[in-house]
Amino acid sequence: MGQMAQKISKVDHDELLKALNEALSEEWLAYYQYWVGALVAKGPMRTSIVAEFMEHANEEYDHANKLGKRIIELGGTPVLDPKQWENLARCKYDAPSNDWVMELVKQNLVAERCAIARYQQICEMTFGKDYETFKVSAKILKEEIEHEQELQFQRSSFIPKCEDLLANYWTWDTSTKNRFLRELIEKAVYTKNAKNTWKNGDDISFTLDIYPKIQQK
């Protein structure tokens, strides 16, 4: 931070650096929680949920990068020892003991709500006192709110409907099957790879790509 910026800043410098390093630790834990969740996830529409987890993981990494740079600009030192992350973090890492997608979504939803509270705190601490830090934390807060909205949609609507479809598909009438499929699937693309030949009628010679209606930003 430059001399003039330090002169006009009204925020407690030490308290701000402490909060930023705590947030930095939380971002690294959040990154790993999304990354490892994507690695082990099982259940309906796993591919789409994994893609969303990886997108969130990349954004958590970006948050950590922004926080680290801002800490240095303020004359501080980003937390150097990963062993300190868990001690500094208020938003803790929650190991995925259950790899079912619904449970992983619930875990990450708790983490996102904790992150929202963290950045709300930093925004309140810096509003009207440290414009640059406020701008960084407000942008991160906006993205954490988007993460919560996306996960809430998966938890309350999309995944339960997928589970319902898988559990009851063969007992439903055609009308109910079609209604559920229209609610869950954007489109399906059938691709024929090779012409079936005599005596090979049971061989799979096509691919079916299904595009679910995952909430987009």
CATH number of 11-167: 1.20.1260.10
Say yes or no to pLDDT of 216 above 50.
no
Say yes or no to pLDDT of 6 above 80.
no
Q: Tell how far CA 24 is from the center of its chain.
A: 16
Higher pLDDT, 67 or 48: 67
Residue 119: Cβ-neighbour burial (10 angstroms; 0-12, 13-18, 19+)? buried
Say what the pLDDT of residue 48 is.
79
User: Tokens in use for 107?
Assistant: 């875990």
Domain map (residue ranges) of the chain? 11-167, 172-212
pTM above 0.75, yes or no: no
Q: Tens digits of per-residue pLDDT, 84-130? A: 999 999 999 999 989 988 889 999 999 999 999 999 999 999 999 99
Q: Tens digits of per-residue pLDDT, 132-178? A: 999 999 999 999 999 998 888 776 666 666 666 667 768 878 887 77
CA distance 95 to 197: 50
User: Tokens in use for 53?
Assistant: 């987890």
Say what the pLDDT of residue 153 is.
78
Length of the chain: 217
Q: Select from 56, 38, 33 the least CA-distant residue to 217.
A: 56
Say what the pLDDT of residue 129 is.
92
Say yes or no to pLDDT of 207 above 90.
no
Say yes or no to pLDDT of 2 above 80.
no
- Alpha-helix runs per DSSP H in 41-130: 46-73, 85-88, 101-126
Say what the pLDDT of residue 102 is.
84
Q: Tens digits of per-residue pLDDT, 22-55? A: 999 999 999 999 999 999 998 767 887 899 999 9
Return the sign of the alpha-carbon dihedral for residues 184, 186, 190, 191.
negative
CA distance 52 to 38: 9
